[in-house]
């Protein structure tokens, strides 16, 4: 089973950017934690980060054989209509992750344009949200295959 781990704009500076809000873990550390958990599930994880919406879309289209994806679209969640379309077209299951609780922040962050086209959203659990997303995604994919 192959799962994409996609990180959008500004997530490359996790650990430096507003650590009181986003935590002190770097993106590399979070990817490492996800990789460790994925090994427990015998899942291959392919991490990718870009600050450019089009590059993320290109990656999704190139990796269309992946069974699932975890994406933290960052601010693209609130205005990335092209990304939304690409996620809708992606044949695998997708879980969206946000480090912070987007509903406890600025009003413009309360709506995710990408959320309606993904299987689920994890918001506000910090780095732990990525592990929750992976666990949920793997479970959903096993159910889709007819397993438990």
pLDDT in tens, 82-119: 999 999 999 999 999 999 888 766 665 657 899 999 99
- Is 52 labeled as catalytic in the residue annotation? no
* The predicted structure's pLDDT at residue 15: 85
Residue 6 burial (CB < 10 Å; 0-12/13-18/19+)? buried
Contacts 24+ apart (CB under 8 A), 106-112: 108/78, 109/78, 111/78, 112/73, 112/77, 112/78
* The predicted structure's pLDDT at residue 105: 65
* The predicted structure's pLDDT at residue 18: 64
> Which whole number is the average pLDDT over 56-76?
97
Neighbours of 78 (CB within 10 A): 16
Neighbours of 23 (CB within 10 A): 17
> Which whole number is the average pLDDT over 6-35?
88
Mean pLDDT of the chain: 92
Q: Which of 48, 52, 89, 98 is catalytic?
A: 98
Q: Which of 22, 48, 79, 110 is catalytic?
A: 22
> Which whole number is the average pLDDT over 2-18?
92
* The predicted structure's pLDDT at residue 102: 81
* The predicted structure's pLDDT at residue 54: 98
- Contact (Cβ atoms closer than 8 angstroms) between residue 1 and residue 44: yes
- Is 98 labeled as catalytic in the residue annotation? yes
Percent of all residues in the chain with a pLDDT value above 90, rounded to a whole number = 78
pTM score: 0.92
Residue 57 has pLDDT above 90, yes or no: yes
Residue 137 has pLDDT above 70, yes or no: yes
* The predicted structure's pLDDT at residue 19: 63
């Amino acid at each position: 089973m192959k799962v994409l781990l996609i990180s959008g704009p500004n997530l490359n500076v996790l650990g430096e950017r507003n650590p009181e809000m986003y935590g002190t873990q770097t993106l590399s550390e979070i990817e490492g934690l996800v990789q460790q958990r994925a090994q427990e599930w015998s899942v291959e994880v392919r991490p990718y980060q870009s600050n450019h919406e089009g590059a993320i879309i290109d990656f999704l289209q190139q990796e269309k054989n992946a069974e699932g994806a975890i994406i933290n679209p960052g601010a693209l969640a609130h205005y990335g209509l092209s990304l939304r379309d690409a996620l809708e077209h992606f044949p695998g299951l997708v879980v969206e992750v946000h480090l912070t609780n987007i509903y406890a922040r600025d009003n413009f962050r309360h709506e995710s344009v990408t959320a309606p086209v993904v299987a689920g959203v994890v918001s506000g659990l910090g780095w732990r949200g990525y592990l929750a997303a992976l666990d949920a995604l793997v479970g959903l994919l096993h159910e889709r295959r007819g397993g438990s």
